[in-house]
Structures are given as structure tokens and as C-alpha cells.
Chains A and B, each alone.
Chain A
Amino acid sequence: MARITKEQVKHVAHLARLSVTEEDVDTFTEQLDAIIGFAEQLNELDTDGVEPTTHVLDIKNVLREDEERPSFDQETALKNAPDQEDGQVKVPSVLE
């Protein structure tokens, strides 16, 4: 049985904000199925009661004082923006 379907691949592509052609969907379905099949070997291991590791260092909640610091001015901050208007980043319309 396939571990991942074409419909799932289309859904995941949408979540990941990637546009995919039918050909891409075929390739991704095949490749992701193989990779996930490979990953299923992890199920050979009994991990009941094992704590998940998110991070290897013993560091938690590193905080600093909430104080004003110098930052880039507007013009500099927008230097790499593909499109801008009146000192703001410009994007295509959000609503249809």
C-alpha cells in the first residue's frame, strides 16, 4: 500500500507554498513514499518512555532586558525588498 497519495502530496505542497505540476506530483509521490518507507525503520525501536530531544544544550528561555537598541533605518531595511512603495514593502493583493 502506498504510504503517501497524490492527494496528500498536493495538500502538503499547498501547506509548503509550492506550486506543483502533475508531473511534479508523480515524482514527489514516488520519492516521498520511498523516503518515508525508509524512515519507517524507526518503528523497529521501542521508544515508550523515552523523552524526545529537541535540543542538546541545557539552555532554556534566554531573555534580555527589553530596552531600545539601534536598528536599521527604513531605507536600509527595505534595500532587498523586491517591491516597495512609500517606505513599505509592497505585495500583490491579499484578497481576490
Chain B
Amino acid sequence: MSILEESFSSLHKKLHDRELKVSELVDASYTRIQEVDDKVQAFLTLNEEAAKAHAKKLDEALEQEDTRGMLFGLPAGIKDNIVTRGLTTTCASQLLSNFEPLHDATVIDKLQHAESITIGKLNMDEFAMGSSNENSSFQTTKNPWSLDHVPGGSSGGSAAAVAAGEVAFALGSDTGGSIRQPASYCGVVGLKPTYGRVSRFGLVAFASSLDQIGPLTRTVEDNALVLGEIAGHSELDSTSANVEVPDYLASLTGDVKGLRIAVPKEYLGEGVAEDVKSRVLDALKVLEDQGAVWEEVSLPHSQYAVAAYYLLASSEASANLARFDGVRYGVRAESATNLIDMYKETRSQGFGDEVKRRIMLGTFALSSGYYDAYYKKAQKVRTLIKQDFDKIWENYDVVIGPTAPTTAFKVGEKLDDPLTMYANDILTIPVNLAGVPAISVPCGFSGGLPVGLQIIAKPFAEGTIYRTAHAYEQATDHHKEKPEL
């Protein structure tokens, strides 16, 4: 077992009792990566030299002052669309394969302040577009539970690295399910915070009205500890909310007596695997036994979420990705002799198929004559989806369902058909459209692969999510299962 599989509180105690040095913890991380990452392929770039120097400094610092924060010395993996100064940040795209950011993202500054250690950058679907990591330009990360299955996506590298015990925690980003779906597939805990909860300064933008950064961890408590450090307003992100960050640990009371749970019938309907349904119903029983009450409800516009999402997210992406033109950064195509051709050649050589497909779809949806029929229509449907949730919060504290309709699929299985791949996000996308927070926590297995339970709450009620998820986790042993690698 990797020492990195221990809880933050256990590692914190060992570091403070001098049973363990930060340097040893960081060495353990790189040793584990050496042992398993040729199979898992979660990492794109390692930060080994700088991380080891940082560890040494922290060991010395602990000698000077003996109480540090809960993330002190903990090895962290960072999704490769979050910029890290001087450490190559590629978004898993050929176009950015040589990009060395000039500054750190706000979340990286915050982790620096919390004294965790950046171990390296994690694989993803190119520009966060995908649900399997197969859209990475560099490598396909594998699911640690079964190496011929995908880890999910787009934060597949983040989920796999945590599941494989390579790091203590990872950061990912979630635009339509990109933290929760891989967390579900890899059997870890992944939270998409409320839109605006975490600053996105330094997150390479995909769909700006939907993107959020969030933590992937092995336990709910660890997740709450990371969110507590990275959340909060930043003046560098004008869409970050000026809302106080509560003490999330205080939410972990273990008490869900009287908690009102809504279970949308659309989330247990057609297309959801029988095993997944049973695991979710088992989980509801566990919460019920602790005094929570659940009722079936309807989110009637759920079935329209995927279509609305692909129009909106692709439209926003087509605008955001216009900046990748080979002028100020990135790999420029050398063949062109005039500016327009240079743009076209750079983008055509640098972007992969899925990214091009979404840029094309978004450009079409925003183009003259189609804007009202597609883009604006989708924005109106988004309002209806958000209103579905608003109505639920009048009578319920949380919404619970599966995170994904199935367990992880096989590598290559869905590559040929974009629509089948998109359908996989049907249970996570409505959350992004509504801007609400949601978590995926392990709730058992089907055929040896993890199943994820999704818990959704109203804006800025991450504390309620953590309370529910923690009470469930404490009553079950799923989070203690580890993949054999």
C-alpha cells in the first residue's frame, strides 16, 4: 500500500510527530509513479527536482515552527489546463506542447500558501473536451481498476493518479462532468463547486459560463480540506463570487437526521445500468437508516440538457479557443506564407479531431442566421433546467442520483460516435447548466468497476453536500477499497 493512501489527518499527525518527513512523502510519490505510471499513464510532466527542493525547505521550516496547515507537505497532482509558472502546461494539446506559463493560477498560489507540493501535471482530454482521456494528444490514461478501461474524463489523469495512490490529492476542472465522471469511474471523491466558488484565473478557458476547478481525493474529509484552501473570491476572476468560505470541516457532523433528499426519476430511468441503479438505491437506504428521508421528484427538462450543453459549451469554446493562433504562444505551423494561412495551418495541425469538431459546431451555432435558432434557444432551455432545480430547493436539501449511467467503458469502445460519447454526461451536465455544486462519492462496484453516487445541493451549499457524503462514507467501506496495480 502506498503511504499516500492514508488520510490527510493521519499524514498530518505523522509529519508533526516527526515519524515522517515531507521529503520521504514526496519520494514515496515519485517512487509510486515510477512503479505504476507506465501502466496508468496519468502524468504528462513531472516537477521532480523542484518538488524535492520544496520538500526539503518544508522539512526545515517545520523545525522552525511546529504547527502547519492540513495540506502541509502533501503531494498534489494538477490537471494540465491549470497554469503553473515555468512548468509546461499543455492542455494535452500538440498546439501547447511547448507552453511554459509566465504565472501561476490563483489555485496554485493558494496551494503554495497552504504548503502542499506540486508533483506534476496530469493528463486530460485535449482542452478538457471529452469523457475518456482518449482525446489527449499525448497518451490515454488507463483506469487503475482495470487497465483496458478508460478512467473517464476530462480530468481522467487527476482521478487515476489519486486512485493509484500516486498523489495525496489532485485538482481537476469540470465543465459538464469532468471532475465527477472520472471520480465515479476511478472510485474516488470529486467535487464540482458552485459556479464562482473557486477562482478560475489561470484555468485555460473552455466554456466560461460553466467551468469550475475542484478537488479529487480519496475521502470526503480530505476533499473538504482542499476546497477550504482553494475556494474564495479573487479580483483576478471577475466571475468569482464574493461569498465567505465557511469551515467545511464543521459540516462533517455525521448527522443527517431529517435531511430531505430528492431523487429525480429521470436519473434512474432509461439508459442507467441496473447495477448502477441498485447501488444508488442501496446508498439511499444507508442514508434512510440514519434518519434522512427521500422522495421521488421530477426534473422534467433533464432530457434536454445534453443538447443545450453541447450548443452552449461548443459556442463558448469556439470563442475561447480563438486565442490559439500561433502568434503569442504555442507551436506555429511553419509552412504558411501569409497570416490567415498561418492561423489556419497552426490550428489545423495543433488541434485534435474532437476540439475541431466542437469549434466547428460552436462557430456554426453562433454564425449569422443560426444564432437565434441554436445558441439563444439553448440559453432559454438552460433557464428551464435551472428553474427545475430552483423548485426542488424549496422542499429538499439535496438531490441524489448516479454520477454516470454506467461504470467505465473500454478503451476504444465509443471513439467512433461522438453522440454516444456525449450521452455519457447526461447526469452531470444539468448541474453545470444550473451552476450548482455536486460531488461524486464511491458507492460500490459493478463487475469490479467503481460506481459513483452524485449528491447535488443549492448554490454555495457545499457544506450540506459534504455532510451528506461524509455521513454516507462513514457508514460504508467502499472508499477503503483499493485497486491492485
Contact = CB atoms under 8 A, between A and B. Distances in A.
Nearest to B357: A31
B286 interface: no
Interface string A1-27: 000100011011101111110000000
A54 interface: yes
A64 B235 contact: yes
Nearest to A93: B338
Contact of B196 (A19, A36, A47, A57): A57
Given A57-B435, A59-B238, A62-B238, A42 B344 contact: no
A12 B360 contact: yes
A36 B360 CA distance: 11
B279 interface: no
Of A44, A59, A77, A91, the most chain B CB neighbours within 10 A belong to A91
A12 B357 CA distance: 11
A59 B99 CA distance: 32
B390 to A, nearest CB: 11
Chain B, interface SS category: helix
A47 B467 CA distance: 37
B466 interface: no
Contacts of B322: 17
Interface string B234-253: 01001101000000000000
B342 A91 contact: yes
A53 B422 CA distance: 22
Contacts of B357: 28, 31-32
A12 B377 CA distance: 20
A50 B380 contact: yes
A62 B238 CA distance: 6
Interface string B371-413: 0001011111111101000000000000000000000000000
A41 to B, nearest CB: 6
B328 A15 contact: no
A12 B433 CA distance: 26
B360 A43 contact: no
A38 B419 contact: yes
B435 A18 contact: no
A45 B196 contact: no
B432 to A, nearest CB: 9
Given A18-B359, A20-B348, A56 B377 contact: no
Contact of A16 (B196, B329, B360): B360
- In the complex, which range does the number of interface residues on chain A fall in? 35 or more
B383 A51 contact: yes
Nearest to A82: B332
A96 interface: yes
A22 B239 CA distance: 41
Contacts of B100: 79-80
A94 B344 contact: no
Nearest to A9: B360
Nearest to A21: B348
Contacts of A32: 357, 360-361, 364
B277 interface: no
A32 B311 CA distance: 11
Contacts of A41: 303-304, 307
Given A16-B363, A82-B326, A91-B339, A39 B384 contact: no
B239 A59 contact: yes
B45 interface: no
B63 to A, nearest CB: 34
Given A19-B344, A55-B209, A59-B238, A80 B377 contact: no
7 nearest CB pairs, A to B: A56-B435, A52-B379, A80-B329, A82-B332, A62-B238, A47-B380, A19-B344
Interface of B: 98-100, 102, 195-196, 209, 235, 238-239, 241, 301, 303-304, 307-308, 310-311, 318, 322, 325-332, 336-345, 347-348, 351, 356-357, 359-361, 363-364, 367, 374, 376-384, 386, 418-419, 433-435, 459
Interface of A: 4, 8-9, 11-13, 15-20, 28, 31-32, 34-36, 38-39, 41-45, 47, 50-57, 59, 62, 64, 72, 76-77, 79-83, 89, 91-94, 96
11 contacts: A4-B364, A15-B363, A17-B347, A19-B348, A42-B381, A45-B384, A52-B382, A52-B383, A53-B386, A56-B386, A91-B339
